[in-house]
Amino acid sequence: MRRVGYFFLYLALIVVALFQILPLIWLFLFSLKSNQEIFAGSPFSLPSEFRWENYQKVWDGGIGTYFFNSVWITIAAIIFTVLFASMAAFALTRMKWKLSGLVLGLFMVGLMIPIHSALIPLYSMFLSVDMIDNPWSIVITYTAYNLPITLMILLGFYYTLPHEVEEAAIIDGCSIHRMFFRIILPMTTPIMATTVVINMIYNWNEFVFVNTFISSEKYKTLTVGIQNFIGQYMTDWGAIGATLIISVLPIIIAFIFFSNKVVEGISSSAVKG
């Protein structure tokens, strides 16, 4: 009976996986077809000729600039967010100081602020300091908005860390800063991988802030820049499919490499003590 149960369980998982993968297969085949094949043939039929030039066309058309903007802005925001959230989690869970509860409450308030309600105040603030049409305004905004959820994920893991490791380090003459960077951060690698993936998905797919704060083509990211290609290649649907494949590929690759760490981080932070 147990084998029968496992059989149906794996069968159900395979069916779910197929439903998740089929749209990606369809999009990939879509990106390699001509307009005639897209509208005349079956959605999952192989193209008569693999049109790799669709990818070359959109890359030469400027999507490379949008792609690299998305890469460096996403990476910079992830580094700042995870580092600052780790410092805050260390201070809130491993150190005793007044007003720590109030500070934690202020971080949690950030989870309740809708993105759209802050657009006008943020625009006014960046305008006053001459940071409109500056990519660092996007990095700062991503970091600030992702700090609360990143901190909340890290807190559960930090509470499970044994205090004996820190006590031994202090006895050996280790400073607070060295303890954090040399001992605590390496111990929190699994949960940091979880927060990296979550931050990457948000930063990579974010549209509203970039569309509001950035106007120059040289600073736009993929989510905003793709609009230009939709207008430029309105009749070339294969080229549009190529832009979408390029936009989703980094997320898929990151999740493949970090999936085990994500599961490990979630399971370890869910158990306290």
User: pTM here?
Assistant: 0.84
Judged by average pLDDT, the poorest of 36-45, 55-64, 70-79, 229-238 is 229-238
Q: What is the per-residue pLDDT for 272?
A: 46
- DSSP class per residue in the chain: -HHHHHHHHHHHHHHHHHHHHHHHHHHHHHHTS-HHHHHHS-TTSPPSS--THHHHHHIIIIIHHHHHHHHHHHHHHHHHHHHHHHHHHHHHHH---TTHHHHHHHHHHGGGS-TGGGHHHHHHHHHHTT-TT-HHHHHHHHHHHHHHHHHHHHHHHHTTS-HHHHHHHHHTT--HHHHIIIIIHHHTHHHHHHHHHHHHHHHHH--HHHHHH--SGGG--HHHHHHHHHHHTSS-HHHHHHHHHHHHHHHHHHHHHHHHHHHHHHHHHH---
Comparing 255 with 11, the larger pLDDT belongs to: 11
For the segment 67-71, the average pLDDT, to the nearest whole number, is 93
pLDDT in tens, 8-52: 889 999 999 888 888 888 889 888 888 788 777 777 788 888 888
Q: What is the per-residue pLDDT for 268?
A: 56
Q: What is the per-residue pLDDT for 254?
A: 81
Q: What angle, rounded to 10 degrees, do the helices at 64-94 and 222-232 form?
A: 160
Q: What is the per-residue pLDDT for 273?
A: 42
Instruction: Say which CATH topology domain 62-270 has.
Output: MetI-like fold (1.10.3720)
**CB 116 within 8 Å of CB 208:** yes
For the chain, residues classed under CATH 1.10.3720.10 are: 62-270
